[in-house]
Structure 1
Amino acid sequence: MSPLRVLVHHHDALSVRESQLTVERQDRDVLRRVLHPYLHWTEDGVTVRGRQKVLARLADRPVVCAPASYELRDGQVYRWTMSTENFGN
């Protein structure tokens, strides 16, 4: 694997962890920067689309577990998929 590929994966992991911590802190200004405007947020098979709708959902329930999968676009979280049944595992 090339060093650049490793660096990109490391950067992705940092972006995902930063997003988790930002949700927990309820830092809406930072969340606006790290969440893509056309975000797809899926929890237990239910998808919320759009940064504003996701921010409203996170205001009600800010606890976020690590994603089962995610996608970054333009340095922002574009897709986030998680299952709360695995929360804490």
Structure 2
Amino acid sequence: MKSGKFWAWVVFAIGTAYFFIPLLATFEFSMRMRRGVHSFDAYQVVLGDPRFQATFLYSVVAAICTIILGVLIVVPAAYWIR
């Protein structure tokens, strides 16, 4: 049984690395707007763009409306089934 626990941890470690290494690499790449220098300049440029702000606000409003609509459908349906 100890061998099973070992292999479970090995699979867990491989799965964790499989998901987190690309995320860390993407973040590290995004920090290098200028060659050889790590900074948040790219984030300042993107977050300061009015088109990005408008699009992001639209996405947030759409997400909130979707959540509200989902709750308005699911909660009465759950009570109706019960």
TM-score (normalizing by structure 2): 0.31
The alignment's TM-score, normalised by the length of structure 1, stands at: 0.29
* Structure ranking higher in strand proportion: 1
Q: Which has the higher contact order (CA 8 A, sep 6+)?
A: 1
Compare the two structures and name the one with the higher helix fraction.
Answer: 2
